[in-house]
Every structure is written in structure tokens, then in C-alpha cells.
Amino acid sequence: MAGVVTNWNYPTSVRIGAGRVRDLPEALEAAGIARPLVVTDAGLAGMAMTQAMLDVLRTGKKTFEVFSEVRPNPVASSVAAGVESYRRGGHDGVVAFGGGSALDAGKLIAFMAGQVLAVWEFEDIGDRWRRADAAGIAPVVAVPTTAGTGSEVGRAGVITDEATRTKKVIFHPGMMPKIAILDPELTVGMPAAVTAGTGMDALAHCLEAYCSPSYHPMAAGIAVEGMRLVFEYLPRAFEDGGDLEARLGMMSAAAMGASAFQKGLGAIHSLSHPVGALYDTHHGMTNAVFMPYVLTMNRPAIEAKIGRAAAYLGFGGTFEAFLEAVLTLREKLGVPHTLAQFGVPGERRMEIAEMAIVDPTAGGNPVELTRERALELFDRAMAGRVQRPGSGGIPCHLG
């Protein structure tokens, strides 16, 4: 530890609380944005809460246009179309409004608006981010309407390469939104299934960040408290979408997860990314499916660490107790126990394993993710083989 040399970063200005979306005009002024492009997804564009947000902009005498050609898993062509709209409209910043896909797309549009290289030139590999013209990055105000990705406090965006069907992470410190507005009232209308999937995404971020071997004790502490918020508030938000305290707790957990995962992610994400790219599955729910299988594979490297977290969370202080809590939470939320139940076929297992081991998140896994381990994890997740506490050492086929 004495020889550690690393960098730590923390999020931007965050305005949190019920009704804070009404601060949007003032937040735009603080960010130096006079003519924003509002980036959202097609499903959200016509909803009442989006129209209410646009009314806030009108009341604040803001000139804006709306770009809503964002898919649930953002693709390069959508970002390119958004950049064209941004430039054509003479905009000077972005309001990213929606779930993780809209936030990522909005950040990528703002990032690419002033670049001349192709988006893939900035993939999160080594120091490729230095290729960007930092002065050309437009400011962003992020307004999430889900509680999962935490993209509102992140310096990267995930985008799918349509040609290769691979998800890639585009990173630059300048992609961090200038201001994030976390208004739990905006998440009240989320369907229970979306609440579950996005909430499990937040848990995956906190869990994998905590387990990553990188040295970052501040991020680890945030990750543990983020997990506590998920275990306490996600069941409540799932059962009662109007529970504003639970919604606020989950928005906090999502932002904390994204702040913590600068410490690293791992095999949950590196397997989820290719499955999502190939089959267009919900990212958070895919993470939820893989979670117990990755957790048990990593056990030799993380058992003591998970035991400490389990003690803080009130689960009893053992790896088994933490695993049981994860499995119980998944069952409460209706998370498919297997990839097969999730509608994912098994014939592309080798392709998924090959994609997983080169995913940028794989390097943060506490156990090296080899091709053989990736295949084993995929097969376990297909069949539902996870050793459940109290099973007498016999793998259980749940669900």
C-alpha cells in the first residue's frame, strides 16, 4: 500500500430533493447554457413529466429543441444524429433527461459536438481520451428519471457499435455534467420492473466497486453505504412507487454507485455488456441475473471483505449471509434466476466469453476473468447453478 500511486475523483454539483427540477433554468445559467438541446428517449418524450420539465424551461424563458432519437441501449447512429441536431440548431449545451441511456447519449452528444475524430477514437483504453479537444466539449446538465446508472455524476458513456454489436465505453473527464438535478418526484412513475432493474444496477455498481482490488478506501466506503441504501429502499420503491423517501434513497444510491466505480467494476458488467449488445436486454436486470454467479466465483478473493460489508449491513457478518441477502432481494423483485428465464439463448456462449474478457470492466474483477471462467459463469447463469447458504454444499437450481 505504501507504494500506491493513483488518482481520485468525485462528482459534480448535485441538487437533490423533491421538486428540484424547477431549478433547471437557474442550473442552466450556472452551467453557462443559454440554448440547450434537450436529449431524451422516444418513450419519455411524450410523457407528462417531460412536458412539465419543458414547461419549466419555457417559464424560465429558455430557447430549446428536443432530440428524442435515443434507444434503450444507445447506438452510434443516434449519437451522430444528435450531434447533427446540436450543430444545426446552434446549441451551446445539453439537458440530458431520462434514464441511463438518455443520460449517456446526451453526454456523448455534448462531447462529440466539438470533435473531428470518430467516436471510437475515444474508447476507454489507455489514454485515448487525450485525443479529444477538451475545449470543444459542451456543458451538460443531467436530470435522471431513473435510479440506477448514476450516469448523472459520471465521466463516461456507454454506446453500442452497431457494426460489431459490442458495447464500448467512451471516457473523458470533461464529460462530467456541470450540474446534476436529482428529483425523486421524477421517478415516481417508473414501472415496478424498471425500478427493480435500475435498482439492481445501482447495487451492481456498489458491489463491484467495493470488491475491486484497486486502492480507493473513500470509494469503498461510499460503495458500502450505497449497498445499504439499496437493500433498505429498493424493496420499498418496488412495492410502492409513490414512496418518496425510498425514491430519494435510491437516487442517492445510484449516484453513489457511479461515484464509487471509479475504483473498478468487474465480471458482472463485463458479461452483461456483450449479452446486452447481442440481445438488447435491460442492462441493470442483466447485471442482476449474473450477480450471484460472479459473487461466488470471486469468493476466494473477497470473502473477508464481503464479511465486513455484511456485518455493516446487519446481515450477520459472513459471505454466506451476504449471498443469501442478494438471492432474497432478487426473488422479491422478480429477477430471473437464469439467463434462460431471461430469454437469452446459449448458442453464442463462446462469442460472449470472448467479448467479456476484453471488455474494459473485466480488469477490475478481483479474480482474473479468463475465457474459461467467463464460459463457466455463463453456463452457471444459464442453468441456475449457485450454491445457496444452507444447501449443505449442494448447488441449487433456483427459480
pLDDT tens per residue across span 350-367: 999 999 999 989 999 999
pLDDT score at 162: 85
Domain that holds residue 234: 192-397
Nearest-angstrom CA–CA distance, 25 and 265: 35
- Look at residues 261, 238, 262 and name the one whose alpha carbon lies nearest to residue 249: 238
Query: Does residue 362 sit in the same domain as residue 306?
Result: yes
Q: What is the DSSP string of 323-363?
A: HHHHHHHHHHHT--SSTTTTT--STTHHHHHHHHHHSTTGG
pLDDT score at 390: 53
Note whether residue 294 is domain-resident.
Answer: yes
pLDDT score at 2: 62
Mean pLDDT of 152-168: 88
Mean pLDDT of 322-351: 97
For cell 452497431, what's the residue? 162
- Look at residues 55, 63, 56 and name the one whose alpha carbon lies nearest to residue 93: 63
Q: Is 102 left (phi over 0), alpha (psi -120 to 50) or beta?
A: alpha
Note whether residue 305 is domain-resident.
Answer: yes
pLDDT score at 1: 57
94, 138 Cβ separation under 8 angstroms: yes
Nearest-angstrom CA–CA distance, 326 and 22: 37
The CATH code of the domain that includes 93 is: 3.40.50.1970
> Which residues touch 186 (CB under 8 Å, ≥6 apart)?
21, 49, 143, 144, 145
Q: Over 90: is that where the pLDDT of 389 sits?
A: no
Grid coordinates in use for 137?
Answer: 466539449
pLDDT tens per residue across span 242-277: 999 999 999 999 999 999 999 999 999 999 999 998
Q: Over 50: is that where the pLDDT of 307 sits?
A: yes
Note whether residue 5 is domain-resident.
Answer: no
Query: Does residue 222 sit in the same domain as residue 112?
Result: no
Per the structure, how many domains does the chain have?
2
Nearest-angstrom CA–CA distance, 194 and 192: 5
Query: Does residue 196 sit in the same domain as residue 147?
Result: no
CA 64, 151, 289, 269 torsion: positive or negative?
Answer: positive
Phi, psi of 10 (to 5 degrees): -135, 165
Query: Does residue 76 sit in the same domain as residue 101?
Result: yes
Nearest-angstrom CA–CA distance, 203 and 211: 12
Query: Does residue 98 sit in the same domain as residue 175?
Result: yes
Nearest-angstrom CA–CA distance, 45 and 51: 8
Query: Does residue 138 sit in the same domain as residue 214?
Result: no
Query: Percent of the chain beyond pLDDT 90?
Result: 84
Domain termination residue (choose one: 187, 206, 240): 187
Query: Percent of the chain beyond pLDDT 70?
Result: 96
pLDDT, mean over the chain: 93
The CATH code of the domain that includes 218 is: 1.20.1090.10
pLDDT score at 166: 82
Domain termination residue (choose one: 160, 187, 214): 187
Note whether residue 3 is domain-resident.
Answer: no
Nearest-angstrom CA–CA distance, 188 and 246: 10
181 confidence band (pLDDT: 50, 70, 90): very high
Nearest-angstrom CA–CA distance, 239 and 232: 12
- Look at residues 146, 158, 361 and name the one whose alpha carbon lies nearest to residue 250: 146
Residue, of 212 and 4, whose pLDDT is higher:
212
Note whether residue 28 is domain-resident.
Answer: yes
pLDDT score at 161: 86
Note whether residue 368 is domain-resident.
Answer: yes
Nearest-angstrom CA–CA distance, 297 and 283: 21
Residue, of 3 and 231, whose pLDDT is higher:
231
Query: Does residue 167 sit in the same domain as residue 233?
Result: no
Q: Over 50: is that where the pLDDT of 328 sits?
A: yes
Query: Does residue 259 sit in the same domain as residue 160?
Result: no
Q: Is the pTM of this model over 0.85?
A: yes
Query: Does residue 235 sit in the same domain as residue 358?
Result: yes
Query: Does residue 50 sit in the same domain as residue 173?
Result: yes
Distance separating the N- and C-terminal Cα atoms of the chain: 43
Mean pLDDT of 15-24: 94
Q: Over 80: is that where the pLDDT of 392 sits?
A: no
Note whether residue 316 is domain-resident.
Answer: yes
395 confidence band (pLDDT: 50, 70, 90): very low
Grid coordinates in use for 161?
Answer: 457499435
Query: Does residue 272 sit in the same domain as residue 363?
Result: yes
Note whether residue 344 is domain-resident.
Answer: yes
394 confidence band (pLDDT: 50, 70, 90): very low
Domain termination residue (choose one: 187, 203, 221): 187
Query: Does residue 199 sit in the same domain as residue 183?
Result: no
